[in-house]
Structure 1
């Protein structure tokens, strides 16, 4: 699950930045070392549920917000195909069956059009 570790770390970093906190400030609120928090944000550290709780409390966020991947910057090159698929799955997970079918139809149209342009 290395990709999930990176996605969670990226979300923690984005939320921290939106709240205008430095790594040092958040680490202090969480009772963590700054270098440890930096590793979490890079996706180098596989954190425990206890550490996740400390971080969400420090950010004043719910744990579920750490697992919402719809606001991630897609221009970041370290995301691989599986991570993008996971993000897409997260985006459509709570949608109705009709909405998911609509998204599937739109995707098929895009792929069909894109395929015609290539040939």
Structure 2
């Protein structure tokens, strides 16, 4: 299979693991066979758009999110690292981090007034 198929499979595996789902659980949520999920993650299957839509729904992400960061020209930047760290955290944790970031920006802005 192509490098794109492998990168997409790796992305699906990453999102599945971030969601703390097994291949079996994702298969159930997506309405796809567990073996098929494994083949997609390993880049052994050239997955259809319909199956990608089911997988995205099972992962509770948009199609845009599913394809994010698979382009080799776009290296993972700091924002992507922050997103990856926060993706599996509770809403309370996310709100706390947002509050801390705003505090840092407010403090920084006050230095230059």
TM-score band, normalised by the shorter chain?
0.5 to 0.7
Structure 1 runs not aligned, ≥5 long: 71-85, 93-119
Quick check: 1:28 aligned with 2:28?
Answer: yes
| Distance in 2 separating the partners of 1:31 and 1:43 | 19
Structure 2 runs not aligned, ≥5 long: 77-113
If the length of structure 2 is used for normalisation, what is the TM-score?
0.62
| Distance in 2 separating the partners of 1:12 and 1:69 | 11
| Distance in 2 separating the partners of 1:59 and 1:9 | 13
Give the Å deviation of 1:91: 4.0
| Distance in 2 separating the partners of 1:38 and 1:69 | 20
Give the Å deviation of 1:64: 1.3
RMSD: 1.8
If the length of structure 1 is used for normalisation, what is the TM-score?
0.59
| Distance in 1 separating the partners of 2:66 and 2:43 | 13
